[in-house]
Amino acid sequence: MFQSIGNFFYVMLYQPLFNALVMLYNYIPGHDFGIAIIFLTLIIRFILYPLSIKAVHSQKSLQEVQPKILEVQKKYKDDKEKQAKEILALYKSEKINPFSGLFLALVQLPILIALYQVFWNGLKSKELSVLYSFIANPGQINPMFIHLLDLSKPNMILAILAGLTQYFQTKMMLPKKAKTNGQDKKADFSQAMQTQMLYFMPVFTVIILLGLPSALGLYWTISGIFSIIQQYLIFSAQGGPASGWKKSK
């Protein structure tokens, strides 16, 4: 069973991503590995665009109904079953799928794992033997980005940039802080947890990327910038930028 899953992962994700990266590397003037990764990142993001649009719209809607959710939680604080039913009814009436963001993350995780393997193993000459017949074998891949960064090795600058994009991306998604005046402990706790996640995830991202090939950090950074621009445009079209973005400017 596990072998079948591994074969499926290899054929459906690793091999297509690796071949796409090598094809881009072959056609880009100067054979710049970093530029090839940037183009591959944009291709992946455009493929996932329909899913990401739904996730961002859902997050925006969650921001807007957050005051109503707090009211329901306060009104039925002693009846958890009724509270859950009312919140679900609110989601249904507002046509919100609270799990759309989670679904997008679950879709992206296998891609991230496959890219890690591509960047970790794909630079080895023996891996070039798995190229499709219509992809030219470059003989070897030069891992340099604009002749300055070796993307086969960890790089602190790219790790920090990835952490910063993670920070702004998360901050844009945070709902507006409700004025609780210290009376609603549940709301205060929820806001405290959101604030912790705002800082935890970027730090965690930096720590993880410091031990991985910086090619993954470049992918993470470009993907994050794409998400920030996408979120900003969507939020602006729906009535103004996200609350977190306003405060960060």
Q: What is the pLDDT of residues 182-235, one digit of tens each?
A: 545 555 555 566 677 778 889 999 999 999 999 999 999 999 999 899 888 877
Q: What share of the chain is helix, strand, coil (3-state, %, to 5)?
A: 75, 0, 25
User: In Å, how far from its chain's centre is CA 145?
Assistant: 22
Q: What's the chain's average pLDDT?
A: 82
Structurally, how many domains does the chain consist of? Answer: 1
Which residue segment(s) compose the domain that 126 sits in?
2-248
Percent of the chain with pLDDT over 90: 35
For residue 205 the two structure tokens come to: 């991202």
Confidence at 21, pLDDT banded by 50, 70, 90:
very high
Q: How many CB atoms lie within 10 A of CB 72?
A: 18
| Residue 106 in this model has a pLDDT that exceeds 50 | yes
Q: Rounded mean pLDDT of 144-152?
A: 90
For residue 242 the two structure tokens come to: 């996200």
pTM, full prediction:
0.80
Separation CA 85–CA 91 (nearest Å)? 10
